[in-house]
Amino acid sequence: MAVPLDPEMFDPVCPSDLSPVRFGDKWAGMIIRCLEAGPRRFSELRVPLRGITAKVLTRSLRTLERDGLVGRTVQAGPVRRVEYALTPLGRGLLGPMDVACEWTGRHWDELLDAREGVLPVAAAD
């Protein structure tokens, strides 16, 4: 059995949309991080992704599955069990995500200043 996901694995004051590098939709990068250590059930994913609705999580998982980044496995039995896991293609995205996160961390203050309007926006020609 996998170690439970940490409910605090994502800092609530760290908006994923601050990074100019986006992997899929708003939630995709965080979902990929949740699956990094192995397969997870839908209910497990909801623990660290507290702000996501079931509908949005379902849509994000389907998009990741459609794009070949996440696989969905249904295990038959008295109780149907569905697990989501990174595919080899999805696992290959972890390295670029690490680089993007590192870059964002180095430029955090500049990104915040720009977002808050401290830096002037270049005028359109």
pLDDT at 76: 86
How far apart are alpha carbons 102 and 88 in whole angstroms? 22
Taking the mean position of all CA atoms in its chain, how far away is CA 119?
A: 28
Residue 6: strand, helix, or coil: coil
Nearest Cα to 62, choosing from 92, 94, 17, 25?
25
pLDDT at 114: 83
Residue 3: strand, helix, or coil: coil
Q: What is the pLDDT along the chain (125 residues), one digit of tens a residue?
A: 578 888 877 766 555 656 777 777 889 999 999 999 999 999 999 999 888 899 999 999 999 999 999 999 998 889 889 999 999 999 999 999 999 888 888 888 888 888 787 655 565 54
